[in-house]
Amino acid sequence: MKLTGSQIVVECLKEQGVDTVFGYPGGAILNIYDELYKHDQEIRHVLTSHEQGASHAADGYARATGKVGVCMATSGPGATNLVTGIATAYMDSVPVVAITANVTVPLLGRDSFQEIDITGVTMPITKHNFIVKDVTELADTMRRAFFIAQEGRPGPVLVDITKDVTAAVTEYTRQEPWPVLRSTEYIKDADLETAAEMINKSERPFLYVGGGAVISNASEEVRALAHKINAPVGDSLMGKGAFDGRDELYCGMIGMHGTKASNFGVTDCDLLIVIGARFSDRVVGKVSKFAENAKILQIDVDPAEINKNVMVDASIIGDVKEVLKRLLPKLDENAHEDWVKHIEEYKNKFPLKYDPAGLTGPYVVKELYRITEGNALIVTEVGQHQMWAAQYYKYKEPHQLLTSGGLGTMGYGLGAAIGAKVGCPEKTVINIAGDGCFRMNMNEIATAARYNIPVIEVVINNHVLGMVRQWQTLFYGKRYSNTILNDNVDFVKLTEAMGAVGIRVTKKEEFEPALRKAMELGRPVVIDCIIDKDDKVFPMVPAGAAIEEVFDQDDLK
């Protein structure tokens, strides 16, 4: 049948099973929006307050549901406003398709009104991108975009469509989505045998679990591996939930704000088994000292990650879940009793701790865990509160923590929480924010209020840029250059002005009733928690130092 380009876009979204799009209209994309209007019973459009909010919402939707997140924006500034969200998704391997419109083909390259070369702009931060100048290529380009976003290591794909293509007419035939299979073509028997031999001979194995284990839904296999060889487990920020945080073998996060038990475990082990992780600098610290007593076995779907940041002794390339399924039967059961006891002593000697006297970030996060019984979907912004959320909430399953790990995007969390709640309406979705991050994209409270999306925003408000201030305190002689936010902005009034519910908490005993009220209301709620400006995240490793140089408040004394 003959359809316009705009109709083809909508039909392709329906082909892919897309039920929600986050976006913001404008002149160049009007034809597509006009077509969406006619299909509002099949595809829900969520109008965000800013295009960046749309890209973060698509990201949060994708991470929470495992499906592709979709966002839309018009040409020029609309498209460029998506860039931060696209880069965030790229760094954390999130399947997002961003659809933008551009000026007509005759106007390309002429500095036309609201023209931008968005494919050129986003080339380094997309898995792939396209500009469609011929309507006959549109349907297959859309299909390729969704396939590329999901296959292998996921990531964002951008499709830019010129306005004349959205109006042009061509033949369209519906197709089923192209099948996306787990990546197994590079899993070699010899690599599996080598890995099995290394693991079976190891006396002190340690598991380092990353975001790839979350993406591949490999939590059952990771647990089976850890318990079969009785190995302690640490994770990266992105790996949270791939291994149950309540398990007796769990040691905590590894790296700059990791636990001493995990950091010392990596240092003391004789085999580090790296599962779906890319050796981020925030995990590794000083490369030459990282796991220097160990052989390293890396399992990853992306060949480019092997020997990129840290040289490894062996590797298996393939989908983590599939690799572990094939590896597990080759492994001997092993108790490693002395090794596990050694790590248990670290855990007992160096527990996470904080000042219990007043309202603090760790107290708030621990209360969130207790009151939600560990079942909430937690989203975070970036900073101290993000690290407290990683340390004190026990994640028991994949896709339970949504956070910007690679890019570290302040302003990510609120949009992502909206996307997550739209995708998982049955879950309690809580965004943990700092006051600096909340200021960046707090306009999305208006989005949540407009659609009555009942996200809960918990602002850990210390009236400073807390993580930067912590560095200024420890390493910059307490020179607090432009990190003090002690002004007259009232987050509660601001929240109410945007149509949501605002609650202020200044004492420990006020937090539980505030959270329970927020959970019962069924409306978007902001809980403004006032804490001390000099609360710090510990443990900590100085930038560029070895991870065994981790210190806490006791060491400072």
Residues 314 and 211 in one domain: yes
Domain boundary among 309, 328, 349: 349
| Residues 231, 95 within the same domain | no
Q: Report how many helices (DSSP H) and strands (DSSP E) the chain contains, helices first.
A: 24, 20
Residues 419 and 378 in one domain: yes
Query: Are both 421 and 335 inside the same structural domain?
Result: no
Residues 146 and 83 in one domain: yes
Phi, psi of 366, rounded to the nearest 5 degrees:
-65, -40
- Catalytic site includes residue 384: no
Torsion angle of C-alpha atoms 145, 215, 374, 457, degrees rounded to 10: -40
Q: Which one is catalytic: 72, 467, 498, 540?
A: 467
> What is the pLDDT, as a whole number, of residue 509?
97
The structural domain count of the chain equals 3
pLDDT given for residue 277 in this prediction: 98
**Beta bridge pairs of residue 208:** 234, 274
- In this prediction, residue 402 carries a pLDDT of 98
pLDDT for 246 equals 98
Which residue among 14, 67, 114, 137 is the active-site one?
A: 114
pLDDT per residue rounded down to tens, the chain (557 residues):
999 999 999 999 999 999 999 999 999 999 999 999 999 999 999 999 999 999 999 999 999 999 999 999 999 999 999 999 999 999 999 999 999 999 999 999 999 999 999 999 999 999 999 999 999 999 999 999 999 999 999 999 999 999 999 999 999 999 999 999 999 999 999 999 999 999 999 999 999 999 999 999 999 999 999 999 999 999 999 999 999 999 999 999 999 999 999 999 999 999 999 999 999 999 999 999 999 999 999 999 999 999 999 999 999 999 999 999 999 999 999 999 999 999 999 999 999 999 999 999 999 999 999 999 999 999 999 999 999 999 999 999 999 999 999 999 999 999 999 999 999 999 999 999 999 999 999 999 999 999 999 999 999 999 999 999 999 999 999 999 999 998 899 999 999 999 999 999 999 999 999 999 999 999 999 999 999 999 999 999 998 999 999 999 999 88
Told to judge if 113 belongs to the known catalytic residues of this protein, a careful annotator would answer yes
**Whole domain around residue 457: which residue ranges?**
361-541
The answer to whether residue 551 sits within a structural domain is no
Is 435 domain-assigned? yes
Of 51, 115, 221, 444, which one is the catalytic site residue? 51
Residue 513 burial class via C-beta count within 10 angstroms: exposed 0-12, middle 13-18, buried 19 and up: exposed
Say which CATH number the domain at 204 has. 3.40.50.1220
210 with 334, same domain?
A: yes
Domain annotation covers residue 85? yes
CB 328 within 8 A of CB 335: no
Q: Which helix (H) or strand (E) holds 28?
A: none
Looking at the structure, tell me whether residues 379 and 345 fall in a common domain: no
Check whether residue 157 and residue 196 sit in a common domain: no
Q: Is 440 a catalytic residue?
A: no
The position carrying tokens 């094939």 is 326
Q: Are residues 209 and 336 in the same domain?
A: yes
Assess if residue 495 is contained within a domain.
yes
pLDDT reported for residue 416? 98
Q: What is the rounded distance in angstroms from the CA atom of residue 217 to the CA atom of residue 145?
A: 22
Q: Which among 130, 146, 150, 163 is annotated as catalytic?
A: 163
Instruction: Taking the CA atoms of 20, 499, 401 and 156 in sequence, report the sign of the dihedral they define.
Output: positive
Q: Is residue 101 part of a domain?
A: yes
Tell me: do 368 and 308 sit in the same domain.
no
Location of structure tokens 């949504």: 402
**Residue 549 is assigned to a structural domain of this protein:** no
Whether 51 is catalytic is yes
Which of 38, 113, 353, 478 is the catalytic position?
Answer: 113
Catalytic-residue membership of 507: no
> In terms of domains, do 301 and 437 share one?
no
Last residue of one domain, picked from the residues 106, 140, 171: 171
Output the domain CATH number for residue 93: 3.40.50.970
Q: Which of 293, 319, 349 is the last residue of a domain?
A: 349
Residue 405: inside a domain: yes
Same domain? For 155 and 263 the reply is: no
Residue 182 belongs to a domain:
no
